[in-house]
Amino acid sequence: MTLDGLIDERPRTELLDEYAKREIRRAMLSAVAIPGYQVPFGSREMPVARGWGSGGLQVTLATVHREDVVKVIDQGDDDGVNAVNLRRLVTSSTGARETSVAAEATVVQSRHRVPEDGLDENTVLVLQVPVPEPLRGVERDMRELARMHAEADYSRMWVSLYEDKVRNGVITQSTGYPCLVDGRYVAATTPIPRWDIPRLHDAPFLTLFGAGREKRIYAIPPYTDVEPLTFEDVPFEVEDADGACCALCGSRESFLVSLPGAPTWLCSDTDWCRRRREPSA
Amino acid sequence: MSGAFGERRFEVARLRVPEWLLEVRGLGKSYGPHDDAVIASTGPQAGTAKSPLNGSVVAAWDVSFAVAAGEALGIVGESGSGKTTVLRCLAGDTAPTAGQANIRLPDGIVSLFEVAPAERRRLRIDTVSVVYQDPAEGLKLNVTAGGNIAEPLTAAGWRNFGKIRSRAEELLARTEVPLNRMDDLVRSFSGGMKQRVQIAKALANSPSVVLFDEPTTGLDASVAAGVLDLIRSLLEEHRIAAVVVSHDFSVIEMLTQRCLVMQHGRVVESALTDQLLEDPHHPYTQRLVAAARA
């Protein structure tokens, strides 16, 4: 059978053609094979602008099958405008079903959050990444960056952590905290908060990071070590809202966000919060 | 080496070297194609480093020396004489055209120009340090003094914030940088203080070889004197093999025991520093010494 014979020439509704899917899947396979390593890929034009999740969308579209169940969140919220539109794009293009319950989903596309529960070995988590390069803040030269990764020369990353601690007394970097993946590559866990980082360590699910504008895909395979960079005597800490609890469900054990202008906190993961309040649902 | 100037004395000087830490043999750097005729068309006799045959610049050629622990070797010459080229080749900033450089480590001898680039950079972290004329080359100006010192320490595997802090404090105290400036950006420092921070950074991992490239040239006279005092006492304290490149004989006189004189990319004379100053043989050295004494 020739390659041409494999190509289905019938008109299709999907956003990505088979060539694009194949290329993105190859990049994803490379990324899984080398945890934390940023694999370049030919980022396609998407019906969303660069910076609005075009990378995550391409990864999702190349992953999702008609029988998949898709959950898309923006800031932990299933009903955010961006989340709704991306979900509609994915389901209409691929025929997959949609859900807001993480445990039902086989593919979760997210910006900013890892859902509070329900991710298991059957889930693929896709993160939309604005800046895939963890060293971008300390070096701009692409060749130098490539060299630093190749030689695992991360001393300047450590210097930036040192500087952060010296200037502010604590490590202030919140989202995109640099982590050593599988003991080899430092990867940006952008854009999730520090809160979610311990949950990536030795996680049962596959995490795929897609950066559309920067044209990079990287991955954390299931059960991989993810170690936030931190000094031996400065323990890694997650965000702490000091006694705050969710105004709706009363949770103290979830990631909370504050309402602008009010001393009120809410669960960032809206579906998790809803299920706590309606146990029957 | 050209002519008979100083060769006899160089042999005498070598006898005083117990065991070298840094050995350089036949180091050469040519910008452009070179063959024997091109090399022969440059140098002190030709009066130029740029070959009239093909325009190649032979910045340095046939430079050999050895430095022992606790010893400082000077390389002196006017600008364009090739002394900084020699240093940059040793530092790994420039690829040499010819020659060898060996470093003696506790577990054997490493050939600087033959090891892989990654290994080379590793040597730069804990074995060979460089103090540049321009602090901007050796330091990150938008990083604090402590952060600059943390860089070689973290590169060498230090992961304890408290220990990094105390090591940086120790080094800054040793190089006489006020500790209340430790958390200020190096950009805000005076020239002399930047140079002190650069020296502290160079000493962070107790290297066995330190290369100084015109360490005081950018400083005014009184500040330069202080930095020179500091370098001299550091060289006495630590068993470092140092190479000091300078156009200024007073710097060479203060810091080094032996020195090479370079002109148009060649070594024209080499001797013990005090002998060279008392009794310079080569006419070029005589001019340099006369200029320094003026």
Residue type for B78, please? Answer: E
> Mind telling me how many Å the CA of A135 is from chain B's nearest CA?
14
Q: Which of residues 160-179 of A touch B (CB under 8 A)?
A: 162-163, 165-167
Q: How many Å from the N-terminal Cα to the C-terminal Cα in chain A?
A: 50
Are A245 and A129 members of one domain? no
Are A125 and A212 members of one domain? yes
Catalytic residue status for A273: yes
Are A75 and A104 members of one domain? yes
pLDDT, tens digit (0-9, with 9 covering 90-100), for B34-47: 999 999 999 999 99
Q: Do A162 and B161 touch (CB under 8 A)?
A: yes
Other CB atoms within 10 Å distance of the CB of residue B172: 22
Are A196 and A261 members of one domain? no
Q: Of the residues A228, A248, A271, which one is the last residue of a structural domain? A: A228
Domain limits for position A255 = 240-281
The answer as to whether A220 is a domain residue is yes
Catalytic residue status for A249: yes
Are A190 and A247 members of one domain? no
Q: Are strands A97-98 and A69-74 parallel, antiparallel or unpaired?
A: parallel
Structure tokens at A74: 């923006």
The DSSP code for B24 is: E
Token pair 């005589």: residue: B286
The answer as to whether A267 is a domain residue is yes
Q: How many Å from the N-terminal Cα to the C-terminal Cα in chain B?
A: 28
pLDDT, tens digit (0-9, with 9 covering 90-100), for B120-132: 999 999 999 999 9
Q: Band of the pLDDT at B5, cuts 50, 70, 90?
A: low
ipTM of the complex: 0.85
The answer as to whether A233 is a domain residue is no
Q: Of the residues A205, A228, A251, which one is the last residue of a structural domain? A: A228
Are A119 and A38 members of one domain? yes
Cis peptide before A191 (omega within 30 of 0): yes
In A30-172, DSSP assigns E strands to 39-40, 69-74, 97-98, 107-111, 124-128
> Considering its fold, how many domains does chain A have in total?
2
The answer as to whether A146 is a domain residue is no
Are A124 and A86 members of one domain? yes
The answer as to whether A8 is a domain residue is no
Listing DSSP states for B55-91 in one string gives --EEEEEEEEEEEETT-EEEEE--TTSSHHHHHHHHH
The answer as to whether A125 is a domain residue is yes
Catalytic residue status for A179: no
Are A65 and A189 members of one domain? yes
The answer as to whether A162 is a domain residue is no
> Mind telling me how many Å the CA of A228 is from chain B's nearest CA?
13
Are A52 and A117 members of one domain? yes
- Catalytic residue, chosen from A76, A179, A212, A267, is A267
Residues in B whose CB is inside 8 Å of some CB of A read 118, 121, 140, 143-144, 146-148, 150-152, 154-155, 159-164, 183
Are A185 and A260 members of one domain? no
Q: Band of the pLDDT at B17, cuts 50, 70, 90?
A: very low
Q: Which of B140, B162, B183 sits opposite A166 (nearest CB)?
A: B183
Q: Which of B144, B150, B162 sits opposite A158 (nearest CB)?
A: B150
The DSSP code for B257 is: S
Structure tokens at B154: 């973290």
The answer as to whether A235 is a domain residue is no
pTM: 0.87
Are A59 and A110 members of one domain? yes
Q: Which of B34, B61, B224 is nearest to B133 (CA)?
A: B224
Half-sphere exposure for B254 (CA within 13 Å, toward CB): 20
Contacts of A169 (CB under 8 A, 6+ apart): none
Residue type for B213, please? Answer: D
CATH number at residue A101: 3.40.50.11310
The helix or strand, by DSSP H or E, that contains position A20, with its residue range, turns out to be helix A18-33
Residue type for B70, please? Answer: G
Token pair 């309040």: residue: A277
Q: Band of the pLDDT at B27, cuts 50, 70, 90?
A: very high
pLDDT at B11 over 70: no
What pLDDT sits at residue B2? 45
Are A201 and A249 members of one domain? no
